Amino acid sequence: PEKVDEVKQWVTSVRGQVVAERELQNPPPKMRPLQPGFIDLPQKLLDGYKRKQDASELGKVLRLAQQLRDTVDRVVILGIGGSYLASKAIFDALCHSHHNELPAKLRMGKPRIYFEGKDLDNDSLQDLFELLENTCVDPDIIEERWGVVVISKSGGTLETAAAYRAVKGEAAKFYGPKSEMLRKVIVPITGTKSSKLRDLCRADGFPEDDILTIPEEVGGRFSVFTAVGLLPAAVMGLDVRAMLLGAATMTRRFIEEPFDRNPVLQFAAVNHLMTERGKTTRVLSAWSRKLEAVGWWYDQLLSESLGKNGRGATPITMVGTRDLHSRGQQHQDGTRDKLINNLIVRQIKHPPVTLGMSERNEDDLNQFSRKGLPDILDAAIKGTNEAYSQAARPTADITLPMISEHTIGQLLQMLMLATVVEGRLNGTNPYGQPGVEAYKANMMRALKATPNLPKGEVRDAAKGV
Ligand code: PA5
């Protein structure tokens, strides 16, 4: 405690460094890669839209999203890592918990959403094809038509590329190999530099204006507020501008506010200090199931940004109270290597489910008859924090007033900014992920050494393209 002022000053000075990095044209080799483009992007996109409307980058995203919504009832989103987790986090947090099961009337023009290309799971992909084929009764009926969003910044990630080849083959069978519809129902999102995906789409006749671009200066896991997260969000019928506004507001707070009103600096400071003091397992405890995928997104952000050179906290996501009945024992009583970041939502969306009175009261719950599930959850949060505190297990709270496009925009931007600040605090370059390359090279070598399947017995992914 006697060092708090010192810490505040130090973290605030590191903010100055992160802010200045945005202007660096030619960073020294040890700072490369340097991809601070995500910091100002939300405001830039909003300004561009205000000036140029449909002709702006955001306008283009909204146009293509609307075109997809008008044309299909199911959208398969292909991507992995930063090209998957952002849209998954947004979907789970902001769409109806049973979105895909809702009848079309209740979805109000919002297509069903499926995620693929995020692993190499043969059977799951075949299951999806079965579903899409089973609906292939008449491709003129919108409820049976489906489309694809393919996302890869490098344009060469094997998982996504393989899935795209297979899914494109299915689409060609569905609409016909030469159908104009193919270019209407497929939206590619890729980087500018030597992207094979871009080459492929050009060769397939996509107009340049229909290929969305991930800016070079924005890293994969920092790309949620590029087309990577925004196009899927718009397809899901979400308020993309509110999300950007939330993110831009967080950037402004980060740059302008003193430490005591600055959630980015506070989160970075607490997490950095705790990691340095041996709390190397960082638990994101989401007190809403809808935020679990935000936790998975943060798992990737933290792991790939700061898990370098033998250092970096190990992230884990849990959902309260579900995982109190599994990991809770370890957190309360096991190794003393954890910091628990609670993610708490203050205001619920629906009226509370209340317990009410039961005539015979066998379950003894009548004493809580006038309480709702939110009251029980509140008590669980208090009780858990108290138990951790009694056992000297550190916790920190992030509180969202509610789950909305605006607060999710703020939260994701807060976590990205804090990760960069933390990297600069401990001397780790938060950009780039050299460690991921080793498995890719080995996988390629192993794949080339694997015997081919006998011809005729394989489902030829490219057939019909
Ligand atoms: O953060 C990153 O850059 C990575 O996690 C990428 O998002 C992931 O590897 C996918 O790469 P790409 O979009 O090039 O297919």
Per residue in 391-448, pLDDT (tens digit) is: 999 999 999 999 999 999 999 999 999 999 999 999 999 999 889 888 999 999 999 9
Say what the pLDDT of residue 40 is: 98
92-137 pLDDT, tens per residue? Answer: 999 999 999 999 999 999 999 999 999 999 999 999 999 998 766 7
How far is 125 from 100, CA to CA, in rounded Å? 17
Question: What residues flank ligand 1, with Cβ below 6 Å?
Answer: 80-83, 152-154, 157, 160, 219-221, 304, 433
Strand order of the β-sheet with 212-214 is 112-116, 74-78, 146-152, 186-191, 212-214
Give the pLDDT band of residue 141 (cuts 50, 70, 90).
Answer: confident
SS3 187: strand
Burial (CB < 10 A; 0-12, 13-18, 19+), residue 172, is middle
Give the pLDDT band of residue 369 (cuts 50, 70, 90).
Answer: very high
Catalytic residue numbers?
Answer: 304, 325, 440
Out of 157, 190, 439, mutate this one to test ligand 1's pocket (max ligand atoms within 8 Å of CB): namely 157
CB 126 within 8 A of CB 272: no
Structure-block tokens of residue 208: 């340049």
Kindly tell me if the per-residue pLDDT of 316 is higher than 80: yes
Q: For residue 219, is it left (φ>0), alpha (ψ between -120 and 50) or beta?
A: beta
What would the mean pLDDT of 178-197 be, rounded to a whole number?
A: 94
What would the mean pLDDT of 330-353 be, rounded to a whole number?
A: 97
CB neighbours of 124 closer than 8 A, spacing ≥ 6?
A: 116
Find tokens 């990760």 and name the residue.
419
**Cα 347 to ligand 1 centre (Å):** 34
Name the nearest CA neighbour of 86 among 382, 362, 300: 300
What would the mean pLDDT of 312-337 be, rounded to a whole number?
A: 97
**Cα 285 to ligand 1 centre (Å):** 25
Give the pLDDT band of residue 457 (cuts 50, 70, 90).
Answer: low
Name the nearest CA neighbour of 90 among 151, 161, 48: 151
How far is 445 from 464, CA to CA, in rounded Å? 29
6-54 pLDDT, tens per residue? Answer: 999 999 999 999 999 999 999 999 899 999 999 999 999 999 999 999 9
199-244 pLDDT, tens per residue? Answer: 999 999 999 999 999 999 999 999 999 999 999 999 999 999 999 9
11: enclosing H helix or E strand: helix 4-21
Q: How many CB atoms lie within 10 A of CB 212?
A: 21
Q: Length of the chain in residues, anyone?
A: 465
Out of 154, 301, 302, mutate this one to test ligand 1's pocket (max ligand atoms within 8 Å of CB): namely 154
**Cα 361 to ligand 1 centre (Å):** 54
